[in-house]
């Protein structure tokens, strides 16, 4: 027991170091947390042997539930409302098109069996919400024309569709389905949506009418409601992830007592679940198997990035007269991640005799896409001239509204200051500090991320209460 606690404490402390590195250099935290899991795994330095896909599925299911709920909770409905139709179309029809095209590529080009190819396409059809949110926040990267809200809502809401497609493929491959596919889809949507909406409004009524005797009990009550609605939805044949996401959106955009303490609690839970999820996935992987799956993983990653998602985007957004430049950015923010790997674990746990190493193929695709697209996203957005310099990306999240900006402060960069001769994006500035201007001599400069701070610059900033 003592050794177990020491290992857990080391993992958490290392995760803090890695998250700091990820925040400073704009690297998706998924990559570093996965690497940490691999470091502790059978092929790593610590040599912890873990290959139980059933336990891993249970861990990932719970962690993914918390991440999806908090993704909904953070979504600012006022900012998302103008793009909700596009987001929903992309997260449903777009996910279906991406899954189908990827499956056909695996079937015809990589010569996989048809339904196994479709299973790979299904688990890889959703984008990674945790990485999208993390990259936008760590770089304070907002996009023009509401594209940030569109991409946040799409990435947060396409996991349920990917889950449904994966479940259908698994049931076909295992021949376990006694229910018709159309009826299965209807139950997934109807009960998932219905239970999510009912649970959210029931929760709001309880929070407004009944007072608990301690502030710390409110987050626990909310956690219980999330778990209860998720399990009820599953029991009725509904999609638990749709339920959790809708629950999060509704509850996150309502006013009720102790909302701030609940948000802070779930912010911490969200980070803990990301660490748990990515570390478990890294621990479960065997890097020695990467060499056998490198080529198919690379080919699938390139196909999704440069063919499947662009086709889906063009088919769905061209009728809306979305400019090609905007479509290119939407295409680029299509990296795979935690949900895809978690769904591959679900598949392997239920179909151990798959012909292909599904888990490691999906694992590699996620690493390829997040590393390439996630790391280069700020550069690509600036090249496309779609970065919104005037408005913080935090306004697209509900936690921005819950804090408030206090009065303006001034600070002079003195010789030897930590920020001296550093770009704003590289200066490791606390995310609760919002720089609104930089005065240099008689000039007032816009605080862009690539602006280099110099000695005697006057920084004008405000501090957001949390």
**Torsion (CA) 368, 374, 375, 378 in degrees, nearest 10:** 150
CA–CA separation, 318 and 331 (whole Å): 13
DSSP collapsed to 3 states, 76-118: CHHHHHHHHHHHHHHHHHHHHHHHHHHHHHHHHCCCCCHHHHH
CA–chain centroid gap for 311, Å, is 22
Whether the CA torsion 283, 284, 285, 286 is positive or negative: it is positive
Closest CA to 330 of 309, 308, 304: 309
- Beta strands 458-464 and 443-445, pairing class: unpaired
Cα–Cα distances (Å) from 65 to 70, 236, 274, 416, 427, in that order, read 9, 17, 11, 46, 34
- For residue 362, the model assigns a pLDDT of 92
| Helix, strand, coil percentages in the chain from 3-state DSSP, rounded to 5 | 70, 5, 25
pLDDT < 50: residue spans in the chain: 400-406, 465-466
Of how many residues is the chain composed? Answer: 466
CA–CA separation, 286 and 37 (whole Å): 10
Helix (H) or strand (E) holding 247: helix 240-252
- For residue 404, the model assigns a pLDDT of 44
Residue 18 CB neighbour total at 10 angstroms: 19
CA–CA separation, 234 and 223 (whole Å): 17
pLDDT digits (tens, 9 = 90+) for 104-122: 999 999 999 999 999 999 9
Residue 448 CB neighbour total at 10 angstroms: 14
* Residue 244, helix vs strand vs coil: helix
- For residue 6, the model assigns a pLDDT of 84
Closest CA to 335 of 164, 134, 70: 134
- For residue 319, the model assigns a pLDDT of 92
CA–CA separation, 191 and 198 (whole Å): 10
Q: Look up residue 25 and give its two tokens.
A: 């250099």
Q: Look up residue 66 and give its two tokens.
A: 């918390």
- For residue 307, the model assigns a pLDDT of 95
Contact 126, 162 (CB under 8 A): yes
CA–CA separation, 298 and 156 (whole Å): 25
Q: Look up residue 358 and give its two tokens.
A: 């599904």
With 0.85 as the threshold, say if the pTM is over it: no
Residue 82 CB neighbour total at 10 angstroms: 13
- For residue 393, the model assigns a pLDDT of 53
Whether the CA torsion 236, 238, 239, 241 is positive or negative: it is negative
């Amino acid at each position: 027991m003592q050794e177990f606690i020491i290992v857990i404490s080391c993992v958490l402390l290392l995760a803090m170091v890695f998250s700091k590195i990820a925040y400073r250099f704009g690297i998706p935290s998924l990559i570093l947390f996965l690497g940490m899991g691999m470091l502790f795994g059978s092929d790593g330095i610590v040599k912890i042997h873990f290959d139980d896909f059933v336990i891993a599925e249970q861990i990932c299911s719970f962690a993914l539930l918390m991440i999806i709920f908090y993704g909904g909770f953070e979504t600012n409905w006022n900012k998302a409302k103008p793009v909700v139709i596009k987001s929903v179309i992309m997260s449903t029809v777009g996910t279906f098109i991406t899954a189908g095209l990827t499956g056909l590529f695996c079937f015809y080009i990589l010569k996989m069996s048809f339904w196994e190819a479709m299973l790979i396409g299904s688990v890889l059809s959703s984008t990674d919400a945790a990485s999208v949110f993390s990259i936008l926040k760590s770089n304070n990267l907002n996009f023009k024309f509401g594209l940030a809200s569109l991409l946040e809502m799409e990435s947060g809401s396409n996991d349920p569709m990917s889950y449904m497609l994966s479940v259908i493929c698994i049931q076909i491959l295992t021949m376990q389905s006694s229910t018709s596919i159309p009826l299965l889809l209807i139950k997934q949507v109807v009960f998932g949506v219905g239970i999510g909406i009912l649970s959210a409004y029931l929760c709001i009524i309880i929070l407004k009418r009944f007072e608990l005797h301690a502030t710390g009990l409110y987050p626990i009550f909310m956690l219980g409601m999330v778990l209860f609605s998720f399990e009820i939805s599953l029991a009725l044949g509904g999609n638990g992830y749709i339920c959790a996401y809708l629950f999060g959106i509704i509850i996150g955009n309502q006013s009720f007592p102790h909302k701030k303490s609940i948000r802070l609690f779930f912010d911490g839970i969200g980070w803990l679940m990301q660490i748990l999820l990515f570390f478990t996935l890294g621990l479960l992987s065997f890097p020695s198997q990467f060499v056998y799956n490198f080529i198919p993983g690379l080919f699938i990653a390139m196909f999704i990035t440069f063919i499947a998602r662009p086709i889906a985007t063009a088919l769905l957004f061209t009728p809306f007269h979305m400019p090609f430049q905007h479509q290119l950015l939407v295409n680029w923010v299509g990296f795979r991640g935690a949900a895809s790997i978690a769904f591959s674990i679900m598949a392997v746990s239920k179909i151990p005799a798959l012909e292909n190493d599904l888990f490691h193929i999906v694992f590699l695709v996620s690493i390829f896409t997040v590393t390439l697209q996630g790391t280069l996203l700020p550069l690509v957005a600036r090249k496309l001239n779609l970065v919104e310099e005037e408005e913080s990306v935090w306004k697209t999240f509900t936690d921005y509204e819950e804090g408030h900006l206090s009065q303006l402060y001034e600070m002079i960069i003195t010789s030897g200051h930590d920020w001296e001769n550093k770009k704003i994006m590289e200066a490791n500035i606390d995310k609760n500090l919002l720089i609104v201007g930089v005065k240099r001599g008689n000039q007032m400069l816009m605080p862009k991320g690539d602006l280099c701070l110099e000695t005697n610059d006057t920084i004008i900033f405000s501090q957001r209460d949390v």
